[in-house]
Amino acid sequence: MLDVFSNGRLLQWVALVHVAVGAVFYRDELRAIARDGVVAGVPYRGPKATAFWFFVPSPPLWLAGRLLHAAEEAGDAEALRGTSRVGAASALAAVVLMPVSGFWAWLLISLRGLRTARTMRP
């Protein structure tokens, strides 16, 4: 049985922290979106668009972490390996493009997932 430190749970934590950081960094923009009306409240460019795009990856990242956790609990090394490969490649590209970011956490979790998959019994 895995705990809160499984690769999947760690990825879910990254998603939650991402939302929390965004709520702090983009609080003014979020207030402006709420004030201007949520429906069609985000333009294609500008500070509100940046805030919106900061929040978009969090739900899919949380979901990926949930599915990854389920694969770990089921002992599905292939699912863990495939997910971790895609995560590592995506995170590496993100780190290259934006080195000062939280993408390092995603990269480390993905590399850890690859190591975990190697140690699982087939």
Identity of the residue numbered 10? L
C-alpha to C-alpha distance for 72 and 79, rounded to whole angstroms = 8
pTM comes to 0.85
Give me the pLDDT at residue 39, please: 82
**Domain residues for 35?**
7-119
Q: Which residues contact 12 (CB under 8 A, 6 or more apart)?
A: 61, 62, 65, 66, 69
Q: What is the pLDDT of residue 122?
A: 65
What is the total count of domains within the chain?
A: 1
Residue 72 lies in a domain: yes
Helix/strand/coil for 121? coil
Residue 52 domain flag: yes
Instruction: Provide the token pair at 26.
Output: 């983009």
Tell me whether residue 45 is in a domain. yes
Per-residue pLDDT of the chain (122 residues; tens, 9 = 90+): 457 789 999 999 999 999 999 999 999 999 998 888 878 888 999 999 999 999 999 999 999 999 999 999 999 999 999 999 999 999 999 999 999 988 999 999 999 999 999 998 76
